[in-house]
A = this chain, B = another copy of it.
């Protein structure tokens, strides 16, 4: 093969070990929180039938889907989200325990125009409760979001909370007919990015009178939570949630929400929302599943990983899971190094044995390049005196000591 042709596909990413290490830590924290609230993991295939995929989004999204014919001439496509497969699962396995509390962390595919921060394969992380219309279920999702973010070291975040019912109500009170409410919502949604007069103009273009528009904005300003939202926020706070704020201009783009809606924003970096969700009581059935209420959220794994890096939320994280490189000094001393590596491993310390006899300098450079913080050297002096030399690459310090002491230092680091 022509070497110059070896390359990654446009719009896709490799996760090299350093990135992967952070992602794995994030995922393991998310899993821990989800499971602490009684959610279990589901995984579904990468490929689905086209008719299953297209059920939710219709032709508009078709352009963004990876659709093709397989060897059996079946129309298939790559997962476009995690809600469609969830609905299929709810239909295919009618004996699942209800409420079905599941989380799912898998890649989804969108043939978007590649641009900075936009990828065609994205790891999505969804957590949903299917089959409960209780406000407890909504509150739990909010508590999970907040607990995850707290455990990930986020402090400066805000969970915006609103309800489609509150929105529909204030639209109705402004004297707007119900059949116009979705298009009005889409305009209100733009208040996040446009100023009020721009949105007013858009509403006027949609046929609202000046008076109605004034009334609508007055209603938005004086909007209050309904009883459901009050209960949801109070339950979520009791479950340990923080930073939830009622925000009457929050709309969330997708038409299918029916009750609470929520998203999490951070001041920095300028990255949009890092979670987004709400209650979608009709969607599972619409997608071919059973008629069950549902509430849940997507957690933006990629954006969260970006935030952790940009905000330096994990200042002490290593760039490698390996804690120690055990160097090889000479052929005669090789078995000392090998035994030592085994002892460290048995003590629960991730350690790497340099696999061949090379100049010590080369071995140290390798550790440095890989981001391994500690190096242990056993030369002839050390072997004779039954000690080791422990080197910290970042501090550029080293000391000779008994192995037990070295183990204590490494474990404490």
* A residues at B contact (CB < 8 Å): 1-3, 5-10, 12-18, 20-21, 23-24, 31, 35-38, 40-49, 51-52, 55, 63, 66, 68-72, 74, 76, 78, 85, 87-89, 91-93, 96-99, 101-102, 107, 109, 111, 120-121, 129, 132-134, 136-137, 140, 235, 238-240, 286-289, 320-322, 325, 335, 338-339, 341-342, 345, 348-353, 355-356, 366, 369-370, 372
Are A46 and B78 in contact, with the CB atoms below 8 A? Answer: yes
* A contact face: mostly helix, strand, loop, or mixed: mixed
5 more contacts with CB within 8 A, not counting A6-B287, A8-B88, A134-B355, are A1-B52, A16-B93, A37-B351, A136-B338, A136-B353
A136 / chain B contacts, CB cutoff of 8 Å: 338, 353, 355-356
Q: A1-B55, A15-B42 are in contact. Are A129 and B288 (CB under 8 A)?
A: no
Closest to A44 in B: B14
A335 / chain B contacts, CB cutoff of 8 Å: 238
Q: A353-B140, A356-B132 are in contact. Are A42 and B55 (CB under 8 A)?
A: no
Can you list 15 A-B contacts (CB < 8 A)? Answer: A3-B288, A5-B52, A6-B92, A9-B47, A9-B49, A9-B74, A14-B85, A20-B43, A38-B322, A46-B78, A66-B68, A68-B68, A70-B111, A71-B111, A238-B342
Name the distance in Å between A272's Cβ and chain B's nearest Cβ: 23
Name the distance in Å between A286's Cβ and chain B's nearest Cβ: 8
Q: How far is the CA of A269 from the CA of B220 in the complex (A)?
A: 66
A20 / chain B contacts, CB cutoff of 8 Å: 40-43
